Amino acid sequence: MVLADLGRRINSAMSELTRSNVVDEKAIDNMLKEICTALLESDVNVKLVATLRNNIKKKINFKDQGPNVNRRRLAQKAIFDELCALVDPHINEKGEGAFKPRKDRSNVIMFVGLQGAGKTTSCTKLALWYQRRGFKVGLVCADTFRAGAFDQLKQNATKAKIPYYGSYTETDPVVVAAEGVARFKQEKFNLIIVDTSGRHRQESELFAEMVQISEAVKPDQTIMVLDASIGQAAESQSKAFKESSNFGAIILTKMDGHAKGGGAISAVAATNTPIVFIGTGEHIHDIEPFTPDQFVSKLLG
Ligand code: GDP
């Protein structure tokens, strides 16, 4: 089920409740059943769905409520809040957001993710996003594995008028990354974004390389790029990346397409890591900051 359909299904379950004459436990159970089925069909992890269901039930426990409580409104708020909590691992904690670059220093952001996820595209989008907000941004291509990776980044960067660094001759990505970051730091760039490889002969080599690059450039933030349309696979993929790169944020791409979204929601929960931006198209301007309540509002239309 695509994300828009998920929103429609949840909405229709909620309006069913609004239309029913009595809002009793049975009506609430019916609504929750429909919402949970919709979430499961969108690939949200079964444990998460069970937690969401229990939390909502606890919040609208009829035994604790007086007769004058507006149960419909209570139910709506509980559902909204729990859907927000599902996509935001920090909403119930101190509300601390992800890392934010500052203009008075050189910030380094490293990108990781499997090939095809939209890493190179997202690097440029994020670079442009910050450039338009007054940051001096540079892009470094540390993918020496895939032929054409540097050309792709170069093309994107040129289009967006963003300085870039890469090499056609150096085969060690750690060297390229370190050199690029050092060069941009020397030139007092505020934000240096490092693109890495998404493929290797062996998965273990890819992860080892990420660790080495990370040790060389000491990123202030590592962002994992995740394709929103990959469903359940998102969970195991992001767990594997978390173990090696310990990323601190997620960019969810292809949210404009037929994204199920549920897998991505599970990835957030599995890694306890917030989504910071979403990709909404193939063009360099198609990026939006992610805010859980806006996302859920939009989901529910
Ligand atoms: P990489 O291998 O991870 O670096 O992935 P690329 O950046 O090369 O992107 C792979 C494909 O996904 C390209 O065709 C991109 O245009 C496309 N892509 C990336 N982000 C988005 C997005 O948010 N929406 C859509 N529709 N396509 C995207």
| pLDDT tens string 43-93 | 888 988 999 999 999 988 877 666 667 888 888 899 999 999 888 876 434
Query: For residues 75 and 80, what is the distance between their CA atoms, to the nearest angstrom?
Result: 9
Query: For residues 269 and 51, what is the distance between their CA atoms, to the nearest angstrom?
Result: 12
- Measured from CB, residues less than 6 Å from any atom of ligand 1 are 113, 115-121, 198, 225, 253-254, 256-257, 279-282, 286
The pLDDT of residue 142: 97
Residue nearest to atom 6 of ligand 1 (CA): 118
The pLDDT of residue 89: 74
Res. 179: pLDDT tops 90: yes
The pLDDT of residue 90: 64
Residues 6+ apart with CB under 8 A from 293: 80, 84
Query: For residues 290 and 296, what is the distance between their CA atoms, to the nearest angstrom?
Result: 10
Q: Any idea what the Cα angle at residue 108 is, between residues 253 and 284, rounded to 5°? A: 35
What distance in angstroms lies between residue 36's CA and the mean position of ligand 1's atoms?
Answer: 31
What distance in angstroms lies between residue 272's CA and the mean position of ligand 1's atoms?
Answer: 24
ipTM rounded to 2 decimals? 0.99
What distance in angstroms lies between residue 118's CA and the mean position of ligand 1's atoms?
Answer: 4
Task: Assign 94 a pLDDT band (cuts: 50, 70, 90).
Answer: very low
Tokens representing 250? 């997620």
pTM equals 0.88
User: 185-221, pLDDT tens digit by residue?
Assistant: 999 999 999 999 998 878 889 999 999 999 999 999 9
Q: Ligand 1: which of 282, 283, 287 to mutate, most ligand atoms within 8 Å of CB? A: 282
User: 222-253, pLDDT tens digit by residue?
Assistant: 999 999 888 888 888 899 999 988 899 999 99
What distance in angstroms lies between residue 253's CA and the mean position of ligand 1's atoms?
Answer: 7
Q: Ligand 1: which of 110, 111, 120, 121 to mutate, most ligand atoms within 8 Å of CB? A: 121
Q: What is the CA radius of gyration of the chain?
A: 22
Task: Assign 299 a pLDDT band (cuts: 50, 70, 90).
Answer: confident
Res. 260: pLDDT tops 70: no
Q: What is the DSSP letter of 274?
A: -
Query: For residues 269 and 213, what is the distance between their CA atoms, to the nearest angstrom?
Result: 26
Q: Is 281 left (phi over 0), alpha (psi -120 to 50) or beta?
A: left
Query: For residues 299 and 221, what is the distance between their CA atoms, to the nearest angstrom?
Result: 28
Res. 95: pLDDT tops 50: no
The pLDDT of residue 221: 94
